Amino acid sequence: MPELPEVETVRRGLAPVMEGAVITQADVRREGLRWPFPDHMADRLTGAQVLRLGRRSKYLLMDLNTDETLIVHLGMSGRMLISGHQLGKFHHEHPAPEKHDHVVFDMDNGARVTFNDPRRFGAMDLCTTKDLAGHKFIRVLGPEPLGNDFNEEYLVGRLAGKGTAIKTALLDQGIIAGLGNIYVCEVLFRAGIHPARKSGQISAKRIAGLVPIIRDVLSDAIESGGSSLKDYRQADGDLGYFQHSFRVYGREKEPCVTPDCKGKISRIVQGGRSSFYCTQCQR
């Protein structure tokens, strides 16, 4: 599932095409994806101007001049792809419709943005913009890891005394919004912390040290266009390439990349998800 860096990369790709443009036609081709679409979604979107394209955690947020916000979750395999617009040096013509093109936005600047989702685990909803913070998708989220509300004091306070594994705690969207399995594995490797260590048994100094590491890992991934493992593509259709920088994720039984380390990457399952770590570097 796309994590914060992938969604932020998609947002940045869509913004030049959608911000300030009017949706001349919204074509909604099914009743819903993971959940039903809101009533009359096509009518509510057609003719609306996109004022701002934002992101909260793993959700794209499309603020409209109708005082509504379209909330988009890419799910397991969702993609927002652009055609009919100049992207860098290349002009992408509108492709023929595909089976899993579920929602299509035709913009007044000639661009088309297509939401394609083969597995149909994505989601879209509309809410009044002023009520966005209270929406069921948004109200449960913790602070953004790249924002000012996420800091050393906050994280130390939230994890103090917790008996849950540090990997599980960092995946809790109510503690930190947007972190997923890939990037938590990479963060804990850089921090030298075993994923199964209980959060409350890790010193405050080491917990505080996670904050800049989390920011560095996410920033590096965004700079690389995210990680493409199976279905993820950027808005221009290109792959992200942060997966080429993985130090532990998906590298089971391979040698640790730390100089002079004799350890190998191991894998355990926590909460149904694979955790990758170095048997020597992470304690």
Annotated catalytic residue 273: yes
Establish whether 251 is a catalytic residue: no
Query: Is residue 254 annotated as part of the catalytic site, yes or no?
Result: no
Task: Reply yes or no on whether 11 is catalytic.
Answer: no
Pick the catalytic residue: 34, 120, 215, 273? 273
Which of 3, 8, 68, 186 is an active site residue?
3
Residue 235 corresponds to which tokens in the numbers above? 């808005």
What is the phi/psi pair of residue 55, to 5°? -145, 140
User: Could you tell me where the beta strands, DSSP code E, fall in the chain?
Assistant: 23-28, 50-56, 59-64, 68-73, 79-83, 85-87, 90-92, 101-107, 112-116, 123-128, 265-270, 273-278
Instruction: Render 167-203 in DSSP notation, one character per residue.
Output: HHHHH-TTTSSS--HHHHHHHHHHHT--TTSBGGGS-
Provide CB contacts within 8 A for 47, sequence distance 6+.
Answer: 22, 23, 24
Asked if residues 155 and 211 have their Cβ atoms less than 8 Å apart, the reply is yes
Contact 266, 256 (CB under 8 A): no
Burial class (CB in 10 A: 0-12, 13-18, 19+), 279: middle
**Annotated catalytic residue within 58, 112, 158, 190:** 58
Between CA 15 and CA 260, with CA 211 as vertex, the angle to 5 degrees is 110
Active site residues: 2-3, 58, 273
